[in-house]
Structure 1
Amino acid sequence: MTRPLAILRPAPGDRATLERVHAAGLAARATPLFTVGPLAWAPPDPAAFDALVLTSANAVRHGGPGLAILAQLPVLAVGPQTAAVAAAAGLTVAATGDSDLAALLAGQPPQRRLLWLAGQDRTASTHPALRQFIPVYASTPRPLNAAEAESLHGSVALLHSARAAQRLGTELDRHRVPRGTVRIAALSAAIADAAGPGWADRAIAARPDDTALIAAARRLAIDP
């Protein structure tokens, strides 16, 4: 028996993940838990900063015209997918991480002046090089209807963020779909922990990217 994978991330990331899952020979369905949209924001003087920190491709997708004003700043991207979207938008990627924000900033000197563009809800950081944070997009929770919640029964849910992990549990509990009928695959142990207890099984990606996440999910999807 092969369980379907449930893709919970918002568009357009859900489509990209769906294509990767199908390329891996697995079944999947997209059931986004959030909708993403731009926020109004004013770019600061780029001369006041040394580099731009991007922790999500959505900051590029929804950055709007203000992003062009900051295009002269080199980009520190949290991962390869964010780096690829930034490069495609004409930004110069100077460094690409392979873990999380803390790892990305670990080698940055405290006197460096970094501007962080991200979502309205983000994991806080106290690194001294982060001089300013500007939210440029927001992820709004999207309630599942009863049929969507029931469709997750027997699936392997892909968790790309702690917010999605928490939201998944909330929505299943609200519709009385037992957590014990769902397996979860997460980009990190912290994300899996955010989902809370009660899941049928869980797996952690070896790296924080879609390819590794799908590989982890495959181990849960194929029953002996």
Structure 2
Amino acid sequence: MKLLALDTSGPVAGVAILRDGQVAYEGAAVNAMTHSVSLLPMVEEALTRSGLTIEDIDLYAAVTGPGSFTGVRIGVSMVKGMAHGAGKPCVGIDALQALAAGVSGKDALICPIQDARAGQVYGAAFRAGMPPRRALENQAQELSLFVNACLAVAETHESLCFVGDGVSRYRAALEEMLGERADFPPAHLAYLRPASVAMLAQVYAQQAGDYLTLQPQYLRAPQAERARARKAGDA
């Protein structure tokens, strides 16, 4: 099986191609361009360097959230377009589970966190494995509330391994709250890898559907919708 996976849920856009269970290509980019501009050239490069064409792909995958509302929409829309055009199935992958998959051999409760802004994080908790086994559902919470939720499902004295872009912002606070129980992997393992998205897509291939089934999964309404709701409530 040949599989193409995209991640646009954060500031780094990523593309990976899996061929017969092996990573044939993985690339990521951070630049001043928006994902809508940079993503198509990245896909074209991935296919070229893998010696494939778009018609060769058997399954498409996109991260469906949580993450940047605009970014997630871009990746999901592109995968839907490619899957529709090729008449091939597609599957959505959870960003937090993909983060956990990057450290799936860790002997700790794996707690992915993304900066959700507005004083919150997107977070969940997983046990090691492929796929990582969910211990705590996705949530948008203040950091202290999320940490308490993780502690409630952790074993006594178990370390909590934090990964994701929320670590750079909240590491000091996590260390203050948890002391030696707070664990942080090396920087190159702390961020979402498109290869992890592709590996999970292979695991969930039997759940794939046509392009109409692929939808963003948001944990809260976009900022514009929240602002409109507040304005309507004040009226």
Is TM more than 0.5 here? no
**TM-score w.r.t. length of structure 2:** 0.28
TM-score by structure 1 length? Answer: 0.29
